[in-house]
Structure 1
């Protein structure tokens, strides 16, 4: 079952670049909530609260509960604009979700038991994670914060494909419905030893330099 996280917000009346600039100077983040049967609503959030939330994985892949004077709207984060060099969040977009309508969003992958696997114990095997998240579809109530990929039996030469990920009940990967070509690799265990570069032409290297004409 999906875990929800509550974030307090306030409605904002002033809009435009000047108003947004004033909000940021006051330590707040302008944002908008859209979707569903309701009109878009302009809101503002405490930058400190948003910044702390943004350090957690759940902020990007979980159902968020925006609390406006006690009224709760369930949303997904759809866009975040950051300052190009400051540690500052500039703007957020949230999309309302309907409990009875499927959503499509990216969910992080958590790889477990990698170190205990045959590949993980071998010194000359390199394990690469080709994907760190996967796009899923499900009802909001079934949205997982993350999906575990158990690598306990991973051995040299193994490839874990998208279709081999064990999904929670009610969760699907729409990419797999597009055909076998879309069943991409998620994890690859390959030999890490680099073959030595071939030596140069030994005959030419060993050949004596031509003597100057006497």
Structure 2
């Protein structure tokens, strides 16, 4: 995906406010062997781009001053209550060096999972993205999590997910092995079973 930016010379609160009033968003590009650059972008174009999942997990082509750089979106600052983007950060990347980035998870096979079909469990998604490490050219747009074999009461952790070739979990994720998905019995079913249990019946009779 391509991002068009322009160099920003004026800084400060007043300058940023004037840019926002003109339909612009401030930003910065950093990393690599060159100095950080202050930039500005068209707000509406950026707003629509940020709605696309792929924009957050892809290598972007940033056009600035007639040159194109490979970058990753690293941070977005939103206004607390207005539909307004205040600032964005982009990081330059070296195509020969591994990067770490959070990639969205796409869950598949839930409707055929034994936990759902046989036990009427609900599958809860604890995480919706995963922090991975790979070379830029190997960066996946998303990672699929297959739930088709999930049984009642079982769970899926980060290390259980089949990753694409040449893609690894970042070190801290591998160490922590966080919970990703969990099959749980609905509360209404648990209450019904408790009310119909022998112990409950005998207690009521007494």
Per the TM superposition, whether the score is higher than 0.5 is yes
Which residues in structure 2 correspond to 1:1-80 (within 5 Å)? 5-80=1-76
Distance 1:162 1:88 in 2: 34
Which residues in structure 2 correspond to 1:76-155 (within 5 Å)? 76-122=72-118, 124-155=120-151
**Structure 2 partner of 1:164:** 160
How many residues were matched structurally? 196
CA displacement 1:43-86 (0-9 Å, x = unmatched): 11100110001111122221111112441111111111111111
**Structure 2 partner of 1:186:** 180
CA displacement 1:118-167 (0-9 Å, x = unmatched): 22335731111121111111111111111001112222122212111111
Structure 2's unaligned 5+ residue stretches are none
| 48-57 or 154-163, larger mean C-alpha shift | 154-163
Structure 1's unaligned 5+ residue stretches are 207-214
TM-score normalised according to structure 1 size: 0.84
Bigger Rg over Cα: 1
TM-score normalised according to structure 2 size: 0.87
| 47-56 or 8-17, larger mean C-alpha shift | 8-17
